[in-house]
Amino acid sequence: MSDICELCRRADLLQIYEPHGSTRGLKVYLCDCCGLVQSLPRIDRAGRAPAAISGGADWGDVRTGKSFRTQAAIAALKRHADFNGDLSVLDVGSNRGSFVQAMLQTAPHAAITAIEPDARIAESCAHAERTEVVCARIEDAALETERFDIVHSCHTIQHLAEPARVLADHWRGLKPGGLLILDAPNIALIDSGDIAEEWFIDKHLYHFSARTLMRLVSAAGFVVVAAPDLADRKNLLIVARKMNCGARPLLADSREVAEAARLISAYQAARARNLAALTFVAAEIAAMAPKRVAIWGAGRLFDSLVVHGGFVPAMLSHLIDQHLLKHVDSRFGRPLDAPESLARANPDVVIVMSRGFADEICAEAHQLAPRAEIITYSDLLQRAHLRKAA
């Protein structure tokens, strides 16, 4: 792939970061003109690897996140589309069909085309009413011109080697005035002081801010009608309308460049500090014995706790993760359990190893294990920093 910026098409890419644990040898570059952060080389067709639930850059092939964004997409679309009409909808990267099912229930006359490259899970939509399933990559799908009223793309654009070309194809496939709803990870998340996992994973070739993603959408001929929520530091949800916009020159953006550089510098410092503190977190959990300790969350933070903190999972009474159970049955030799097992386990302590969903998990843990002490990762990390500083 060409080593020029995907947004401004200039060769002003500066290496700014090298991810830890990359199996593809990716490095992160910052465009010194427009501020788009992108990874090179743009390897987007690597062979399928086994499920890797890692805190490093090699995390991948465990697709659980799209379903969490369905209701946000439906709510955004309802503000701009008539769900009672005869809508033709394209769902890009349909995964297990969460958005397809929601649209079928909400829009009674919608006809949906679901694009999903993974044949193992494309079958999830195979028998859905009013739905055509196309097992292909979106780059390879031959879509009819001006066929769709809505194109929905959730957490797919960051995987593409040439997102500008795919957005142009979305524009071509939409009817005049049609809607694009686009969802992507938000690079603002790396400014979190408690981050421990590697954010620049191998499967993500682009790392958008609200500004760079909106500029990319606008450059494809769309007008943004709903910008990302500035309070959401995890996701960028955009609604845009197809218009006959002429090409406009893309000006340099020194403020975006400076902000991206600041974010990545702060991220490196925070992650190094937090990884060093995980040894203290692991020691605090180990000292809770002989209490019955359960951990809820066996994903990337848990991986970091074991790999970098030296935590020994054998001490746990239960390791809970309802989403990873669909992909693996154990982590570091410890079997995974469903949340319902907490009601029977009667643990003394439940540790919530999650940042983004900590509040929801805490509430459910209180219901399932009302006598247990609930401790969050953030609480443990804060105490670890205090001990480390002492």
In the chain, CATH 3.40.50.150 covers 13-252
Q: What percent of the chain has pLDDT over 90?
A: 82
Residue 61 reports pLDDT greater than 70: no
- Cα Rg of the chain, angstroms: 22
Give me the pLDDT at residue 62, please: 62
How far apart CA 348 and CA 380 sit, in angstroms, is: 16
pLDDT band of 3, cuts 50, 70, 90: confident
Residue 244 in this model has a pLDDT that exceeds 80: yes
Q: Per residue in 282-309, is it b (16+ CB within 10 Å) or e — as a string?
A: bebbeeeeeebbbbbbbbbbbbbbbbbb
With cut-offs at 50, 70 and 90, classify the pLDDT of residue 147: very high
Q: How confident is the model at residue 49, as a pLDDT?
A: 62
Which tens digit of pLDDT belongs to each residue from 191-235? Answer: 999 999 999 999 999 999 999 999 999 999 999 999 999 999 999
HSE (CB half, 13 Å, CA atoms) of 31? 24
Give the model's pLDDT for residue 44.
76
With cut-offs at 50, 70 and 90, classify the pLDDT of residue 308: very high
Q: Does domain 278-389 have CATH number 3.30.70.100?
A: no
pLDDT exceeds 80 at position 24: yes
pLDDT of residue 107: 95
Contact 83, 107 (CB under 8 A): yes
pLDDT at residue 143 in the model: 87
Is the pLDDT score of 1 beyond 60?
no
Question: Residue 86 is which amino acid?
Answer: D
Q: Tens digits of per-residue pLDDT, 166-181?
A: 999 999 999 999 999 9
* Structure confidence at residue 246 as a pLDDT band (50, 70, 90): low
Provide CB contacts within 8 A for 11, sequence distance 6+: 3, 4, 5
Q: What is the DSSP letter of 337?
A: B
Tokens of 384: 């670890």
Contact criterion met (CB below 8 Å) for 208 and 264: no
| pLDDT at 363 (0 to 100) | 96
| Res. 243 pLDDT band, cuts 50 70 90 | very high
pLDDT level of residue 67 (50, 70, 90 thresholds): confident
Listed residue (298, 350, 307, 347) closest to 326, CA to CA: 298
> For residue range 72-116, what is the model confidence (pLDDT) as tens digits?
999 999 999 999 999 999 999 988 889 999 999 999 999 999 999
Asked whether the beta carbons of 3 and 13 are under 8 A apart, the reply is yes
| Confidence at 247, pLDDT banded by 50, 70, 90 | low
DSSP for 8-74, written as a single string:
T--S-EEEEE--TT-SS--EEEEETTT--EEEES----PPP---B--SSTT-BS---SGGGGHHHHH
CATH fold of 13-252 reads Rossmann fold (3.40.50)
What integer pLDDT is reported at residue 50 of this predicted model? 64
Cβ pair 212, 256 in contact under 8 A: yes
In degrees and rounded to multiples of 5, residue 113 shows phi and psi of: -110, 120
Task: Please report, rounded to a whole number, the percentage of residues in the chain having pLDDT higher than 70.
Answer: 96
- What does the pLDDT average to over 277-300? 97
Question: Which range has the worst mean pLDDT, 119-123, 252-256, 365-369?
Answer: 119-123
**Whether the predicted model's global pTM rises above the 0.85 cut:** yes
**Distance linking the first and last C-alpha atoms of the chain:** 50
DSSP, collapsed to helix, strand or coil, labels residue 264 as helix
How high is the pLDDT of residue 283? Answer: 97
Query: Where does the chain hold its CATH 3.40.50.720 domain(s)?
Result: 278-389
